[in-house]
Amino acid sequence: MCRILNKITMNRLNIFVVGLFFALVMFTGCDKKENEEFCSECKEFCLYANVEDFHKTAPFINEYLSSLTSNWSDEQKLQNLTNWLNSMSCIISAKLKPEMTDYSKVPTFRSTPLQPPLGIIAILLDENGTTKEILLEVGLRYPYESDSLVATGYRYEKPREVRVLTQPLATTSMVFDFINLFDFEVLLLSGIFYSTTTHTEDNIQSILSSKPYIAAIGSSWGHFSPTFYSMENKSYQADWLKFIDDYQLIETNPFGPYGAWITFLVPVGKEREWAAKFENYDLVSSVDLNWGFKGM
């Protein structure tokens, strides 16, 4: 009799456990791929979970933020938002950054005033098998008339772009030799300053403006600093080195010992791999991916 009762009890327990499991599946919301069929919001969100379209997820994010308890602290709301993002099948991981106002990768130009976000969430996305990172900014909506948290924008890694900073006072020849080690296009080269005692600044500016590989010319305190295009082109390199010699340019930096910035265009999806490789060269001071910004 005891065995029969135990068997009945176990069967009831098994039925209860199975029922509880399905109830949890139905009511826990977006819980990665296996439960996404029960959550249309997950599917809609994931349609836009890529670097190009992530700004279109703002309505979902803002609706979730507005549903949170109003007397919670900003940190509680941000952590709950992070947990909610982690439940999405299209997101590999979401992590609230401890440095809430980290601005090391903030692009200079924005359409609204530059106010620090109240929180930054680092999100890894899976785009057709390639891992992409964005930094979601959460704060107050401009013109800051409400204290409700919203998604204000996101920073993203620009495809192919890897920025290399050379060691201080690397000469033009040294920079060109480094560029020639690789078979990559150079989107931009900047940060090398020149001065001259034999020609006027206006004369120099006039000549430089006619060169096809110079994008812009900055000047300060009698020094000028061109921004170059496509300096993987060896004929451009030779022309510039000749210009330095002909006009007796002196390589100096009025702002102290800083290196040159080289923005390489590496293969798509290989940005992080090449960033790590560049760091192994003695001429390199630091390496970073190039970041852009989109408002939400």
Q: What is the pLDDT of residues 64-104, one digit of tens each?
A: 999 999 999 999 999 999 999 999 999 999 999 865 444 44
Nearest-angstrom CA–CA distance, 255 and 296: 36
Contact 140/115 with Cβ under 8 angstroms?
A: yes
**Would 2 be classed as within a structural domain?**
no
Band of pLDDT at residue 41, cut at 50, 70 and 90: confident
Q: Which of 132, 157, 182 is the last residue of a domain?
A: 157
Find the mean pLDDT for residues 246-274.
90
Please state, in angstroms and rounded to a whole number, the distance separating the CA atoms of residues 107 and 261. Answer: 16
- Residue 292: is its pLDDT beyond 90? no
Angstrom distance (rounded) from CA 179 to CA 186: 8
Q: What band does 39 get if pLDDT is binned at 50, 70 and 90? A: low
* 140, two tokens: 């107050």
**Residue 105: band (very low, low, confident or very high) from pLDDT cuts 50, 70, 90:** low
Residue 118: the pLDDT is 87
- Domain closes at, from 140, 157, 174: 157
Segment 234-259 shows an average pLDDT of 91
Q: Is residue 180 domain-shared with residue 214, that is, in the same domain?
A: yes
Shared domain for 181 and 264, answered yes or no, is yes
**Domain membership of residue 43 as a residue range:** 33-157
Which pLDDT does position 276 carry in this prediction? 96
Whether 151 and 174 share a structural domain? no
Query: Are 87 and 45 in the same domain?
Result: yes
**Two tokens, residue 72:** 């919670």
- 135 shares a domain with 239: no
The alpha carbons of the chain give a radius of gyration, in whole angstroms, of: 27
Q: Which amino acid is present at 70?
A: S
Q: How far apart are the first and last CA of the chain?
A: 67
Of 126, 157, 188, which residue constitutes the final position of a domain? Answer: 157
Would 169 be classed as within a structural domain? Answer: yes
**Token representation of residue 168:** 């201080």
Residue 167 shares a structural domain with residue 148: no
% of the chain with per-residue pLDDT over 70: 81
- What distance in Å separates the CA atoms of residue 207 and residue 205, rounded to the nearest whole number? 6
Whether residue 109 has pLDDT greater than 60:
no
Instruction: Identify the CA nearest to 166 among candidates 232, 231, 260, 251.
Output: 260
150 shares its domain with 125: yes
| pLDDT above 50 for 45 | yes
Task: Classify residue 6: in a domain, yes or no.
Answer: no
Q: Is the pLDDT of residue 127 over 50?
A: yes
The string of pLDDT tens digits covering residues 144-171 is: 778 899 999 999 988 899 999 999 989 9
| pLDDT of 23 | 40
pLDDT value, residue 257? 81
- Count of domains forming the chain: 2
CA–CA–CA angle 136, 141, 145 (5° rounding): 155
Which segment of 190-194, 218-222, 270-274 scores lowest on mean pLDDT?
Answer: 218-222
Check residues 1 and 269 and name the one with the higher pLDDT: 269
CB 196 within 8 A of CB 250: yes
Work out the pLDDT band at 200, boundaries 50, 70, 90.
Answer: confident
Does residue 286 share a domain with residue 167? yes
Same-domain check for residues 124 and 180 = no
Asked if pLDDT for residue 184 goes beyond 70, the answer is yes
Mean pLDDT of 272-281: 96
For residue 60, is pLDDT > 70?
yes
Domain shared by 166 and 153, yes or no: no
Same structural domain for residues 79 and 103?
Answer: yes
What integer pLDDT is reported at residue 125 of this predicted model? Answer: 93
**222's tokens:** 């009698």
Averaged pLDDT score across all residues of the chain: 83
Banded pLDDT at 8 (limits 50, 70, 90) = very low
Tell me the whole-structure pTM to 2 decimals: 0.67
